[in-house]
């Protein structure tokens, strides 16, 4: 890549960053004007839960998109794994941790199997996961007998049901905000020091610290607003843990570097000695674990497993990745970008629900957003 091409790529990404911020402000401003309750503590708490569920799945999707693949089966997988755990708890009286553990093992086996077919049989991920979408959807309906299966028997509470109904105490929420802000600051400063040591170009110092300051402000504002209702939702804390783990894996481990190398040029990565097959298997297995977790969150949020749980979640996850700057061709994408993309999608869907927008308009809007995101990805890819 020449200097002019590199500058053009950075300019394109900068335009994307600013356009995303502007889009989020416009979306939130519009819904706040149309219905002031959009900014109420209660609705923002609901928005946090919606965001958490979508973002957890999107962060998992990042792991397979970065090396140049895609997974269309995650939405059906969310329904299947969540439904299986609900059936084991409600119909077979298994403790919720045991039921969720069984679901996790099944998810690892299923996604490991799909990964093996993709890696060793050279079948395109699009075809394999499209088949998985149909198989998992049918299996989900069979498991729940095409009926509604509650996550707990007789209106009781358990670990499963508390995933989206339990909130952190105010003090713990503030402590979490301090910890997250400190981790982000330390990681950003450390990354900047490494870039300086290797002689790479650095962002403007004032702009760098301004971004850190604004990030901290947003995190504390998030916690303060949440504490005005019931506190930080447990699902948001789970998202925080997943996001931090995936960020550390992708940015600070050989496995993460291999993912980006494979996405950039799989043949070159293989020639360089990277264990491409093992890395891809690990990526799909990791996604399977995150699908299981998302299945528990989504099913707990719905209060029961139904035939619609997980429907079209794969598209929301892909849209969140692409909106946040992840390239569908592979080799580019960050956890922070995915979280931002998921926030835009969650705010859009939450606002439309608050305004009682009809389902058909919701589908059209989601399709338009996904199309625009892919168009932007293509335009930026041309500059790389």
The DSSP result for 211-280, as a single string, is: HHHHHHHHHHHHHHHHHTTT-SBHHHHHHHHHHHHHHHHHHHSHHHHHHHHHHH-HHHHHHTT--HHHHH
Q: How high is the mean pLDDT of the chain?
A: 88
- Give the rounded percent of residues in the chain with a pLDDT score beyond 90: 55
**1 vs 215: which has the higher pLDDT:** 215
pLDDT the model gives residue 381: 61
* Alpha-carbon span 328 to 68, nearest angstrom: 7
Q: What pLDDT is stored for residue 352 in this prediction? A: 93
pLDDT at position 4: 41
Q: Lowest-pLDDT range, 301-305, 323-327, 351-355?
A: 323-327
CA 293 to CA 103: how far, in whole Å? Answer: 9
Position 9 confidence tier, pLDDT thresholds 50, 70, 90: very low
Assess if CATH 1.10.3470 describes domain 3-166+233-381. Answer: yes
Do 220 and 24 touch, CB atoms closer than 8 A?
A: no
281 confidence band (pLDDT: 50, 70, 90): very high
Contact status, residue 294 vs residue 57, Cβ threshold 8 Å: yes
Average pLDDT over residues 324-342: 89
pLDDT of residue 158: 83
Predicted confidence at residue 205, as pLDDT, reads 80
Distance between CA 254 and CA 238 in Å, rounded?
25
Please classify residue 18 by burial: count the beta carbons closer than 10 Å to its beta carbon, then call 0-12 exposed, 13-18 middle and 19+ buried: exposed
Question: Does the pLDDT value for residue 15 go beyond 60?
Answer: no
Which is more confidently placed, 9 or 376? 376
Q: What are phi and psi of 167, to 5 degrees?
A: -125, 145
Cross-strand pairs, 149: 305
Q: pLDDT-based confidence at 2, cuts 50/70/90? A: very low
Q: The whole model's pTM is what?
A: 0.90
Q: What is the mean pLDDT of residues 88-99?
A: 93
Task: Please enumerate in sequence order all residues whose Cβ is within 8 A of that of 355, keeping only pairs 6 or more positions apart, or say none.
Answer: 31, 34, 35
Give yes or no for a contact between 44 and 221, defined as CB atoms under 8 angstroms apart.
no
What pLDDT, on a 0 to 100 scale, did the predictor assign at position 383?
A: 54
Q: What is the DSSP string of 87-127?
A: HHHHTT---HHHHHHHHHHHHHHHHHHHHHHHHHS---HHH
pLDDT of amino acid 185: 86
State the pLDDT at residue 8.
43
Write out pLDDT tens, residues 34-78: 999 998 889 988 999 999 999 999 999 999 999 999 999 999 999
Please indicate whether residue 7 or residue 112 has the higher confidence score (pLDDT). Answer: 112
């Amino acid at each position: 890549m020449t200097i002019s091409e590199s500058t053009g790529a950075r300019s394109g990404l900068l335009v994307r960053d600013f356009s995303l911020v502007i889009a989020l402000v416009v979306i939130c401003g519009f819904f706040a004007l149309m219905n002031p309750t959009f900014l109420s503590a209660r609705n923002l708490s609901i928005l946090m839960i919606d965001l958490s569920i979508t973002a957890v799945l999107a962060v998992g999707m990042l792991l397979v998109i970065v090396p140049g693949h895609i997974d269309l089966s995650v939405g059906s997988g969310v329904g299947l794994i969540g439904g299986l755990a609900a059936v084991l708890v409600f119909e077979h009286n298994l403790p919720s941790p045991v039921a969720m553990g069984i679901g996790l093992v099944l998810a690892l086996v299923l996604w490991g199997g799909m990964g093996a077919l993709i890696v060793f049989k050279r079948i395109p991920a699009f075809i394999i996961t499209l088949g998985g979408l149909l198989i998992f959807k049918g299996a989900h309906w069979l498991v729940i007998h095409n009926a509604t299966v509650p996550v707990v028997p007789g209106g009781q509470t358990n670990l499963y049901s508390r995933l989206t109904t339990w909130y952190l105490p105010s003090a713990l929420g503030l402590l979490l905000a301090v910890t997250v802000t400190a981790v982000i600051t330390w990681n950003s400063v450390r990354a900047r020091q490494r870039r300086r040591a290797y002689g790479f170009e650095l962002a403007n110092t004032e702009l760098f610290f301004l971004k850190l300051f604004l990030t901290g402000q947003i995190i504390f504002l998030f916690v303060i607003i949440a504490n005005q209702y019931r506190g930080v939702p447990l699902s948001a804390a789970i998202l925080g843990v997943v996001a931090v783990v995936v960020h550390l894996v992708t940015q600070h481990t050989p496995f993460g570097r291999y993912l980006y190398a494979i996405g950039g040029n799989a043949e070159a990565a293989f020639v360089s000695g990277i264990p491409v097959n093992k890395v891809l298997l690990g990526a799909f297995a990791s996604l399977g674990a995150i699908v299981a977790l998302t299945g528990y969150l989504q099913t707990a949020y719905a209060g029961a497993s139904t035939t619609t749980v997980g429907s079209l979640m794969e598209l929301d996850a892909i849209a969140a990745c692409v909106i946040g700057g992840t390239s569908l061709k592979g080799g580019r994408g960050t956890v922070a970008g995915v979280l931002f993309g998921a926030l835009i999608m969650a705010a859009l869907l939450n606002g439309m629900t608050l305004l009682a927008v009809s389902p058909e308009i919701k589908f059209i809007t989601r399709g338009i957003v996904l199309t625009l995101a892919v168009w932007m990805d293509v335009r930026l890819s041309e500059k790389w």
